[in-house]
Amino acid sequence: MKRILIVGGVAGGASAAARARRLSETAEIVMFERGEFVSFANCGLPYHIGGDIQDRSALLLQTPQSFKRRFNVDVRVFHDVIDIDKVGKTLLVRNLLTGEERRESYDQLLLSPGAAPIRPPFPGIDSPGVHTLRNIADMDRILAALHRDDPHHVTVVGGGFIGLEMMEALHQHKRDVTLLELSDQVMAPVDREMANMLHARIREEGIDLRLRTGLASIEILDGQPEQTVSTGLRLILSDGTRLDTGLLILAIGVKPETRLAAQAGLELGPRGGIKVDASMCTSDPFIYAVGDAVEETDFVTGESVLIPLAGPANRQGRIAADNMLGRSETYKKTQGTAICKLFDLAVASTGLNEKRLLQLGLPFEKAYVHPGSHAGYYPGAHPVSLKLLFAPDGKIYGAQAIGKDGVDKRIDVLAVAQRAGLTVFDLQDLELTYAPPFGSAKDVINMAGFVASNHLKGDTLLCHTAEVQACHPHQQVLDVRNGPELDQLGRIPGALHIPLDELRGRLNELPREKELLISCQMGLRGHVACRLLSQHGFKVKNLSGGFKTWQMAVMA
């Protein structure tokens, strides 16, 4: 009888335990979890804090008892695994309630320890009122602090997924919220100009978003005369300013829990996670590892990456169980497909972003479109702002989208297209569901395919904000929108203006010796203008995504 031990009872570990039992009724399966709960909905924690998920028990998907009943898995909560003896194939396990320590032997071991919130050694980091959010206990502590201290001001550090979700949750509690982000943008998976839409939306809610601002140190306020909150913390920020706050959430990232693995001499990867092969096996053939603690292979570049997301963790758990029980399954690399709700917006991405492509020095092109989520004549359509990154041969590198509706759908379609090896040319031909309430006869994705293909085929070359901003003396920006649009929506400094529908009759007003950078509102009329002008002998480029993208890019 095979004995399988599993360290960690959330996404990857619980998936593996259930799958292992489905493959073997005879294996002995024991799952150790340091905390009180297994298989809880960690992605739901911010939403319970914010009140969207009212019922705390909805987050507790399984209990040790239910796991035992259904899967005959021996679940030991409050059990901390403190050592692995690879040679003897045993674990040293401490019962956190009794302090008792025991050796447990295994035939195969699965590590799913997850990743821990980063707590940098700021002065004052261990003050009461400083929170991170990883599990049910953390969530309970934050809710208790909100209830007990009733802070009118709270601070979130870090503008990633958890930081933004916590910002929104605390805003829903009607607290004044400051969000600190050390870099120049929130939501690192998307590029800066896309994130600018998020910055505007965050500030529109009255949240005090401070970019390029980190935390330097934390002091406990204790009835000092200058304090502006009743009880709480004084934060010293990276720019030297002080910020008094009643509650601090640290959400600046996570780091893989590799202590056990490293101590046991398992190989770690270049990014500091546990190294595994495609079968999810570590450098020890009897030890597998999955989830946020392991390094994955980037789908596009083949590099080792840390991508702490639930989808990959679940799939890896299943695959590890398969392989522990004699099958031969491989994990198919990670695109990093992800999405985040931000008030009424969604922001999603898959694959590589522009920042990463620049770092890698890969030649790439990009296109922006802003079509409606469904037919404009049917009520309730909202623009989907989509950025597509691709290679000169049409290979899809990645995509990002922001909007109120249909963002998940478009990134899903592009994630599948990327995984299947489709090119931007293929996007033109995708046949997607269309009826006026759901889409358009030419969907957002088809439009992105048209724009990218037109560029690569040389039919309408694209330019971008940087080129417009740097506008060389041999170039001239031409805005082809209608007059009222310019007045209402704004204009690009220095642009000539001729509405598209008057263009054929006013060609003589255009400088023949210059390259024209054409701008409209979204990029569509600019394309028509480019085609028209290029056939009349002008040298032209179309500002991709038009004035709307320009505005996103130049936003403070």
Helices (H), 101-244: 136-149, 161-172, 192-204
For the purposes of burial, counting CB atoms within 10 Å of the CB of 329, is it exposed (0-12), middle (13-18) or buried (19 or more)?
middle
Residue showing tokens 């509706």: 405
Q: Tell me, yes or no, if 43 is annotated catalytic.
A: yes
In the complex with a copy of itself, which residue's Cβ is closer, 250 or 444? 444
Return d(Cα 203, Cα 193) in angstroms, integer: 16
Q: What's the start-to-end Cα distance of the chain, in Å?
A: 64
- Smallest distance, a copy of itself to C-beta of residue 501, A: 4
Q: Interaction with a copy of itself in 214-233: which residues (CB under 8 A)?
A: none
Q: Which of 203, 474, 504, 506 binds a copy of itself (CB under 8 A)?
A: 504
Is the Cβ of residue 74 or residue 412 nearer to a copy of itself in the bound state? 412
- Candidate segments 23-31, 86-94, 255-263, 543-551, binder of a copy of itself by CB under 8 A: 23-31
Contact flags string 105-144 toward a copy of itself, x per CB under 8 A: ----------------------------------------
Q: Are the C-beta atoms of 262 and 252 separated by less than 8 Å?
A: no
Q: Is 264 helix (H, G, I), strand (E, B) or coil?
A: coil
Q: Which is nearer to a copy of itself, 248 or 313 (CB)?
A: 313
Span 327-366, contacts to a copy of itself by CB under 8 A: 332, 334-341, 346, 348, 350
* CB 367 within 8 Å of CB 452: yes
Backbone φ, ψ for residue 399 (5° rounding)? -155, 155
Q: What are phi and psi of 170, to 5 degrees?
A: -75, -35
Token pair for 365: 């092109």
Question: Which residues in the 471-500 window bind a copy of itself by CB under 8 A?
Answer: 500
The nearest distance, CB 438 to a copy of itself, in angstroms, is: 4
Binding part of the chain for a copy of itself, among 89-97, 138-146, 212-220, 311-319 by CB under 8 A, reads: 311-319
Measured from the CB of residue 517, what is the shortest distance to a copy of itself in angstroms?
Answer: 19
Neighbours of 61 (CB within 10 A): 15
Instruction: Answer whether 504's CB lies under 8 Å from 538's CB.
Output: no
Residue 133: closest CA among 119, 147, 149, 113: 119
Q: Which of 118, 358, 360, 441 binds a copy of itself (CB under 8 A)?
A: 441
Restricting to residues 45-64, name those near a copy of itself by CB under 8 A. Answer: 47, 52-53, 58-59, 61
Q: Going along 343-421, which residue ranges are E strands?
A: 345-351, 365-369, 384-390, 396-403
Task: Give the tokens for residue 551.
Answer: 């505005």
Cα angle, residue 276 at apex, residues 274 and 281 outer, rounded to 5°: 120
Minimum distance of a copy of itself from residue 506's CB (angstroms):
13
Q: Please, which of residues 68-107 interact with a copy of itself by CB under 8 A?
A: 69-72
Stretch that binds a copy of itself, among 96-104, 212-220, 261-269, 532-540 (CB under 8 A): 532-540
Residue 43 or residue 486: which is nearer to a copy of itself going by CB?
43
Which amino acid is located at 148 in the chain? R
**Is residue 186 at the binding interface for a copy of itself, with CB under 8 A as the rule?**
no
Q: Active site residue: 43, 340, 463, 520, which one?
A: 43
Measure the CA–CA gap between 200 and 204, rounded to whole angstroms: 6
Helix, coil or strand: residue 145: helix
Where in 370-399 is the site for a copy of itself (CB under 8 A)? 375-379
Which of these ranges, 43-51, 118-126, 194-202, 510-518, lies near a copy of itself under the rule CB under 8 A? Answer: 43-51
Piece in contact with a copy of itself (CB under 8 A), picked from 139-147, 179-187, 211-219, 308-316: 308-316
Asked whether position 512 contacts a copy of itself by CB under 8 A, the answer is no
Residues in 401-440 at the binding interface with a copy of itself, rule: CB under 8 A: 407-409, 411-413, 415-417, 419-422, 426, 428-439
Contact between 157 and 215 (Cβ < 8 Å): yes
Task: Tell which phi-psi region holds residue 138, choosing left (phi > 0), alpha (psi between -120 and 50) or beta.
Answer: alpha
| CB of 402 vs a copy of itself, minimal distance in Å | 13
Minimum gap (Å) between residue 528 Cβ and a copy of itself: 6
- Report in angstroms the alpha-carbon separations of 138 from 42, 77, 142: 11, 16, 6
Closest approach of a copy of itself to the CB of residue 222, in Å: 38
With CB under 8 A as the contact rule, the residue among 119, 474, 506, 536 that binds a copy of itself is 536
- Please report the DSSP string for 49-107 in residue order: HHTSS--GGGGB---HHHHHHHH--EEEETEEEEEEETTTTEEEEEETTT--EEEEE-S
Minimal distance, residue 542 CB to a copy of itself, in Å: 12
Residues 147-166 that bind a copy of itself (CB under 8 A): 161
Report the residue number, 212 or 332, with the smaller CB distance to a copy of itself. 332
Strand partners, 131: 249
Nearer to a copy of itself, 151 or 291 (CB): 291
Taking contact as CB under 8 A, which single stretch among the options 189-197, 304-312, 359-367, 481-489 is the one that binds a copy of itself?
304-312
Q: How far is the CB of 347 from a copy of itself (least distance, A)?
A: 10
List the beta bridge partners of residue 365.
Answer: 390
Number of residues counted as binding a copy of itself (CB under 8 A): 87
Instruction: Single out the residue of 2, 3, 24, 231 in contact with a copy of itself (rule: CB under 8 A).
Output: 24
Which among 205, 130, 123, 198 has a CA at the least distance from the CA of 171? 205
Minimum CB distance to a copy of itself smaller for 437 or for 490: 437
Q: 39 with 9: CB under 8 angstroms? A: yes
CA distance 35 to 8: 9
Active site residues: 43
